[in-house]
């Protein structure tokens, strides 16, 4: 395995699958359903920052 392979977070195959899935405007919209629960957990734990990996549609912002 070379340095470039080590630095990749996803494979090219997975990237292609995600690109195809995101053509559908309804793909990845479940975040709005979970937003109240996420907000409650953030408040309860007094979270200062959060990383929403894969938040391409940015609906929780």
In whole angstroms, what is the distance from residue 11 CA to residue 14 CA?
A: 5
pLDDT of residue 46: 96
The structure's pTM equals 0.50
pLDDT of residue 5: 60
Tell me the domain boundaries of the chain.
3-45
> b/e per residue, 14-37, with b = 16+ CB within 10 A?
eeeeeeeeeeeeeeeeebeeeeee
pLDDT of residue 37: 92
In whole angstroms, what is the distance from residue 17 CA to residue 19 CA?
A: 5
Q: Which two tokens stand for residue 51?
A: 């990383």
Question: What's 8's DSSP letter?
Answer: -
pLDDT band at 50 (very low <50, low <70, confident <90, very high): confident
pLDDT of residue 61: 61
Overall average pLDDT of the 14-42 stretch: 86
* pLDDT, the chain, mean: 80
């Amino acid at each position: 395995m070379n340095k470039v392979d080590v630095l990749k977070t996803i494979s090219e195959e997975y990237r292609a699958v995600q690109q195809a899935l995101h053509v559908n405007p309804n793909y990845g919209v479940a975040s709005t359903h979970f937003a109240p629960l996420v907000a409650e957990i953030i408040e309860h734990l007094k979270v200062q920052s959060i990383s929403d990996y894969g938040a391409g549609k940015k609906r929780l912002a």
